[in-house]
Structure 1
Amino acid sequence: MTSTRAGHVVGGRYRLVAELGSGGFGRVWKDRDETLDVDVAIKELRLPPGMTQAEQAERLERAIREARNAARLRTYENIVAIHDVVVEDGLPWIVMELIDGCSLNEHLKAHGPLPEDRAAHVAVALLAAIGVAHQEGVVHRDIKPANVMLAGNGKVLLTDFGTAVHSTDTALTATGMFVGSPEYMAPERLRGADGLPAGDLFSLGATLYQAVEGVSPFQRDTQTATLTAVLLEEPPVPQRAGRLTQLVTRLLDKDPDKRPTVAEALTMTGEQPATHVHPQRGTRILTAQESPARWQSKAPWSLDSYRRAPARPSPPSSASPDSSSAAVPSPPLLTAPPRSS
């Protein structure tokens, strides 16, 4: 495989400018699309020496799955857009929009907890992203502060669908293996009920808890202790969440059936956006009965309310990634940086 460095051109089109971040199985670069003359981000997949053929095949399929699932959602606000996939030397490179901003994780490390109103804004944006993803049949499975981008223009975007699953996907991970970040992982996933939409809501609860309190609710000194906390321990009552206290607490309910739906959660933020159908566009609400059969318990949701308007041009300027991602017990996947607006 060709050694990659700044100046290398991928697929005869994308010139690497600077590395933005790296993780266990790849890295993300700032890149120049020389055809359109715009900056983008490009995610490079690397396969460490010593991997079995089966492991390599799984990582390659996971990269293609990430692009496929994210591409299903590229027309919606609050979700990073995937523009292209280029295969070079047998490995896929995922081209995405470049964000002028930083991850929520980076922001919390630099500036501390978010004020209540800012946290509510983040909650609404992420609920919108989760709502449309679920209605399109995609469960993210790795919502956490490192996968939430805060753009310089104030927008909040969900990124890194590397562990996401679609309702039509086949299982990639061996029995007993969980891909994701343990401290944000829903307890039912640890018990084997993987890929359910309610798991994303639990992860959102853990993310919002950290956003307002400045600490992760279930992080412990060891992985075993962290998993035990997720399964058995209740997080301390939030002290800084204000009107979001009830929302965060309910999202973190150990019982997935007791967590609020996306629509209920939006109401609890006090800032519920419109979910009506636009009369001229003719888009109607997707009912629970029309959703994938395994998800029919979820509330109706209007996809039309969260389509990007106007249609987004090719991505602009600079971005900041966060590459912290973990697997249980497999190594971490790369966290991709996303879009700019």
Structure 2
Amino acid sequence: MNWAWIGGTLVEETQPERIIGGRYRLVGQLGVGGFGRVWKAHDEALGVHVAVKEVWLPHQAGSDAEHRERVVRAAREARNAARLRDHPHIVAVHDVVVEDGAPWIVMRLVDGESLEERLRADGRLPAPLVAETATALLKALKAAHAAGIVHRDLKPANVMLTGDDQILLTDFGIAVHETDTRLTTTGGVIGSVEYMAPERLNGLQDQAAGDLFSLGVTLYEAIEGVSPFRRETPTATLAAVALHDPPPMQHADPVLASLITALLAKKPEDRPTVESTLAVLRARTPTVTAPAPAPSPASGAPVVPPAPPAVAPAGTARVGRVITGSWFLLAGIGLIAFGCYMFSTEGGWEGAYPISAVTAALVAVFFGLAVMFYRWTGPGRPSFRIVGGLFFPVFFPLAAIWAVWNAVLLA
């Protein structure tokens, strides 16, 4: 028997051709993760190929609790995925085998690659494929949530893209059912931090809305090619997830941009539901709104179906920003004319300098606002980050130029 250190854990080194459960012969390794390894295997009984997930169990001293936890987690994955095995966008689990105290999960063999692998190779996905991916994953989450299951680990590595254009959600290893006992790692929660909803980082109970946040991060990475919250250190990543807004998207159309932005809301109650998000994708509505709170049954008020998502056509919003920017531009030009008038007619007057200085500052303000409104193409109003990136680079140079001009010519 051979052993190897993998990820800080001493695990048995499994070899190809090993027979699992007297039935599944390991053919070759497909992938490696933090808690296990996936093999391509041959089902000797049915004569077909399957995928078999080997769950690593630590063998170092003092690991009995973690050993039991991983066995429970494997049984949970098989149980939760089995509830959803007939869904077209979820990888089906066929069997779970316990051999030598270690669990092995037998599932459908997917001919394709993970979204993580695709992004690593291509950089990012085209918008139509991202929209298709969003629709497939939303349908998978809808089925899981209806069955009382929260996935908790939705990320590109757990999304499979098949050779025949299927999109599948996999790895329910840390998913929880309503009746499950909560599992955590020692001193923390289970999951991938940069895809984890802020409320989970705060220790709140897992909710379906947390999966929607993870979906938003995954879709952002798919359309932009970079993760919105990934930083150089785990602490910085935690802070980004909890406190920072993602950078504005450069490659998303208005529909995807507003959808992803809504999914990334820090508060779970501000995120749209699965149903409303699917409706947006079907109708290509560019604005997603959070669901209105349902009236209390005790109030006796009639339950009114939620209104359809608000529509804010991208063309209308763009025209409005151009008009606003033009007003600021005209105001700045008017102030320049006023300043020139003051210089030519009142150059020797003591009050000319402070008036011109104020005028110069206002010109810089108005020109900076004009540039900001002209260049902002994202959904909604420009954020403070855009103000800092577009307004201040125009304001400060203009303010400096006008200050020098007034100091030299009006002194």
Q: TM-score, normalised by structure 2?
A: 0.65
Q: 2:17 aligns with which of 7, 11, 17?
A: 7
Task: Tell me whether 1:141 sits opposite 2:140 in the alignment.
Answer: no
Q: Which has the larger radius of gyration?
A: 2
User: Could you say if the C-alpha distance between residues 252 and 14 of structure 1 is closer, same or farther in structure 2, counting changes exceeding 3 Å?
Assistant: same
Is the 8 Å Cα contact of residues 71 and 102 (structure 2) preserved in structure 1? yes
Which AA in structure 2 matches 1:25?
F
Q: For residue 335 of structure 2, what is the aligned residue in structure 1?
A: none
Which AA in structure 2 matches 1:144?
K
Deviations 1:161-202 (A, max 9, x none): 011000000112268511110000000000111321000000
Task: Tell me whether 1:156 sits opposite 2:167 in the alignment.
Answer: yes
Deviations 1:231-287 (A, max 9, x none): 000001111110211100000000100100001111222368xxxxxxxxxxxxxxx
Task: Tell me whether 1:71 sits opposite 2:82 in the alignment.
Answer: yes
Which AA in structure 1 matches 2:237?
T
Alignment map for 1:1-341 (pairs within 5 Å) = 4-50=14-60, 51-173=62-184, 176-242=187-253, 243-270=255-282
User: Could you say if the C-alpha distance between residues 3 and 252 of structure 1 is closer, same or farther in structure 2, counting changes exceeding 3 Å?
Assistant: closer
Is the 8 Å Cα contact of residues 58 and 66 (structure 2) preserved in structure 1? no
Is the 8 Å Cα contact of residues 238 and 245 (structure 1) preserved in structure 2? yes
Q: Distance in 1 between matches of 2:151 and 2:177?
A: 9
Q: Distance in 2 between matches of 1:5 and 1:149?
A: 25
* Stretches of structure 2 lacking an aligned partner (at least 5 in a row): 2-11, 285-293, 295-304, 307-411
User: Could you say if the C-alpha distance between residues 13 and 185 of structure 1 is closer, same or farther in structure 2, counting changes exceeding 3 Å?
Assistant: same
Matched position secondary structure for 1:270: helix
User: Could you say if the C-alpha distance between residues 222 and 91 of structure 1 is closer, same or farther in structure 2, counting changes exceeding 3 Å?
Assistant: same
Q: Distance in 1 between matches of 2:19 and 2:108?
A: 17
Deviations 1:200-235 (A, max 9, x none): 000000000000000000000000000000000000
Is the 8 Å Cα contact of residues 44 and 93 (structure 1) preserved in structure 2? yes
1:23 is displaced (CA, Å) by 2.3
Which AA in structure 2 matches 1:262?
V
Q: TM-score, normalised by structure 1?
A: 0.78
The alignment-based identity, stated in percent, is: 60
Matched position secondary structure for 1:153: coil
Q: Which structure has the higher relative contact order (CA within 8 Å, separation 6+)?
A: 1
Is the 8 Å Cα contact of residues 244 and 268 (structure 1) preserved in structure 2? no
Between the two proteins, the alignment pairs up a number of residues equal to 275
Q: Distance in 1 between matches of 2:32 and 2:186?
A: 27
Structure richer in helix, relative to its length: 2
Deviations 1:105-139 (A, max 9, x none): 10011012111111100000000000000000100
Q: Distance in 1 between matches of 2:23 and 2:270?
A: 49
Q: Distance in 1 between matches of 2:218 and 2:25?
A: 34
Matched position secondary structure for 2:272: coil
Matched position secondary structure for 1:179: coil
Which AA in structure 1 matches 2:173?
G
